[in-house]
């Protein structure tokens, strides 16, 4: 059997982390977080349909510190994945590949995600009177 002497493609051990690579990794992670977080939503919906005891249990967890932190992370993941998905759509039509534009839109995605997360949480608490 002949051995293949082709050079290996450089990987994460070779390259310094850059904004574009970190945003790409974060996009994948937020996609996974959204899928897992949806299980929490499904549990809450099933509990609501199952009766007061099941709902109280689910609501108790979701209202706990851990539950709220998970919801906060899920909210950020939702807005990040949405904003970065729109950025990817712009790339699909051929816009935004220039390095300065890629960095500007990358930072814009991060800022928009944080702002939308904060606005939705502040608005949610304000609507609840808290």
Return the pLDDT at 17.
Answer: 86
**Inter-residue contact 96 to 102 (CB < 8 Å):** yes
Interval 17-41: pLDDT, tens: 899 999 999 999 999 999 999 999 9
pLDDT for residue 103 is more than 90: yes
Enumerate residues 6+ apart whose C-beta is below 8 A from 113: 76, 79, 80, 83
Distance of alpha carbon 28 from alpha carbon 72, whole angstroms: 18
Enumerate residues 6+ apart whose C-beta is below 8 A from 29: 77
* Percent of the chain clearing pLDDT 90 (strictly above): 85
The mean pLDDT of 82-99, rounded to a whole number, is 96
* Mean pLDDT score across all residues of the chain: 93
CATH fit for domain 19-127, picks 1.10.1240.10, 3.40.250.10, 1.20.1300.10, 3.30.70.20: 1.20.1300.10
Residue-range domain boundaries for the chain: 19-127
């Amino acid at each position: 059997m002949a051995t293949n002497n082709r050079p290996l493609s450089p990987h994460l051990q070779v390259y310094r982390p850059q904004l574009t690579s970190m945003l790409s990794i974060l996009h994948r992670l937020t996609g996974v977080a959204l899928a897992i977080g949806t299980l929490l939503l499904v549990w809450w919906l099933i509990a609501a349909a199952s009766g007061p005891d099941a709902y109280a249990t689910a609501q108790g967890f979701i209202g706990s510190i851990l539950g709220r932190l998970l919801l906060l992370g899920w909210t950020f993941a939702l807005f990040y994945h949405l904003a970065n998905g729109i950025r990817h759509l712009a790339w699909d039509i051929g816009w935004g590949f220039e390095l300065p534009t890629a960095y500007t839109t990358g930072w814009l995605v991060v800022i928009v995600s944080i702002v939308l997360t904060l606005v939705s949480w502040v608005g949610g608490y304000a609507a609840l009177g808290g």
